[in-house]
Amino acid sequence: MKVGLTLSGDLISEDGARFAAQIGATDVVVHLTDYARGADVSPYLTGGRVGPIGGDCTGVPLWSYERMADLVGMLRRHGLRPAALENFSPNFWHDVLLDGPEKRAQIEGLKRLVRDAGRAGIPVIGYNFSIAGVWGWLRRPTARGGAFTTVFDIDAIDPSEPIPDGMVWNMRYRGGRASAPPLRVSDAELWDRLTFFLQELVPVAAEAGVTLAAHPDDPPAKTLRGTARLVNDPAKYDRLLAIVDSPANALEFCVGSLAEMPGGDIYATTRHFAGLGKIAYVHFRNVRGKVPRYEETFVDDGDVDMTEIVRILRDAGYDGVLVPDHVPELACPAPWHTGHAYTVGFMRALLDNRDALGPSWSAAKEPQLTAAE
């Protein structure tokens, strides 16, 4: 197992790579989507708005082979390996998600992107097949010591607040039309669209040497903003994997989001999917509570015994990358850097001692993995 770090925005730079190398990360996940483009982040940061923020990706060009190859070259100069590219820009595939008229053209664009990523040396592309995306977050000072963190409380928001026209995945991909009806997407429609996406893209990915890795829903509510959620129960990961049987159809295994799900048991879930060899990489994050109410915590302060997660992955022979996911904000001038350095230090200590961690305790009481609905 390897400890990695995720870089996005201004952190995709020589300074960001240097920081990753200095804290002992060996592998890097990269976000090329600029989620904050054109967005006013202040209402969210001051606690007055449901987040995350809504940026604008209108007209963003498909990431080129040259851009990805330069990125990989820059990481390698710092002794870092590219672990994954995470999340497509919503304007690349809004009609794949929405079953719109540009769906065919957009899936061809994604195929080009996947082939170019493979050629540039990027082994994994993480994606989140979601209409409402990551939404419903409240920023509250409730983590240890009063650190600001992400809280989900279904009673404190309007979970059915419509998605503005021209937006998907919290980003604007075109101007809104005043007369447009609110977006509604059923569970059956969402799974049909995912089936199209996987059947078209997985064979191309396999040929390009790229693994497609699905993130579960964050938050894993039943529905959000009038649209179904895809993987809001651990058993739905099995359903996703069964659509196309290929080593290129795999999981971006988010311990936090999976632990937030009312159905299932995080230890059994980890053992099951690690045992199948289907985990492409791991979001190593802890949480307290479950849907309909939970809060993100420091890695050593939540409901999940993260040491046990490492034991389970070790016993299953998992040899991939673990990266921190969101972390609470430490009260200091560099909350991102300190929060991630703290998490990576914790992860490195666990991995350095993984052979001395002793036997896993959760197998004996393992419940069956069954769908909650």
Q: Which residues bind Mn ion (CB under 5 A)?
A: 254, 283, 325
Cα–Cα dist 304/289, whole Å: 10
Sign of CA dihedral 95, 101, 107, 109: negative
- Select 190 or 254, whichever has its Cβ closest to Mn ion: 254
Q: In the complex, what is the shortest distance from the CB of residue 215 to Mn ion, in angstroms, rounded to a whole number?
A: 6
Cβ atoms 298, 328 nearer than 8 A: yes
Pull the structure tokens for residue 95. Answer: 């009609």
Task: Characterize the bridge pairing of strands 211-214 and 223-224.
Answer: unpaired
Sheet of strand 138-143: strand arrangement: 138-143, 147-153, 293-297, 286-290
Cα–Cα dist 274/267, whole Å: 11
Cβ atoms 82, 75 nearer than 8 A: yes
Q: In the complex, what is the shortest distance from the CB of residue 143 to Mn ion, in angstroms, rounded to a whole number?
A: 17
Q: In the complex, what is the shortest distance from the CB of residue 108 to Mn ion, in angstroms, rounded to a whole number?
A: 28
Q: In the complex, what is the shortest distance from the CB of residue 103 to Mn ion, in angstroms, rounded to a whole number?
A: 26
State the virtual CA torsion across 87, 238, 105, 82 in degrees, nearest 10. Answer: 30
Sheet of strand 171-172: strand arrangement: 55-56, 171-172, 167-168
- Select 250 or 254, whichever has its Cβ closest to Mn ion: 254
Helices vs strands, H then E, count in the chain:
11, 17
Which residue's C-beta sits nearest to Mn ion?
Answer: 254
Q: In the complex, what is the shortest distance from the CB of residue 322 to Mn ion, in angstroms, rounded to a whole number?
A: 12
**Which residues, other chains included, contact 23 with Cβ-Cβ below 8 Å and sequence gap of 6+?**
5, 340, 341, 344, 345
Q: In the complex, what is the shortest distance from the CB of residue 325 to Mn ion, in angstroms, rounded to a whole number?
A: 4
Q: In the complex, what is the shortest distance from the CB of residue 339 to Mn ion, in angstroms, rounded to a whole number?
A: 15
Q: In the complex, what is the shortest distance from the CB of residue 184 to Mn ion, in angstroms, rounded to a whole number?
A: 26
- Select 39 or 254, whichever has its Cβ closest to Mn ion: 254
- Select 283 or 311, whichever has its Cβ closest to Mn ion: 283
- Select 208 or 347, whichever has its Cβ closest to Mn ion: 347
Cα–Cα dist 320/270, whole Å: 14
Entry field: residues in the chain:
373
- Select 116 or 252, whichever has its Cβ closest to Mn ion: 252
Cβ atoms 102, 95 nearer than 8 A: yes
- Select 71 or 287, whichever has its Cβ closest to Mn ion: 287
Peptide bond into 123 cis (omega under 30): no
Q: In the complex, what is the shortest distance from the CB of residue 32 to Mn ion, in angstroms, rounded to a whole number?
A: 17
- Select 11 or 208, whichever has its Cβ closest to Mn ion: 11
Q: Find the radius of gyration of the CA atoms of the chain.
A: 19
- Select 208 or 224, whichever has its Cβ closest to Mn ion: 224
Alpha helices in 121-230 (DSSP H): 187-208
Cβ atoms 33, 88 nearer than 8 A: yes
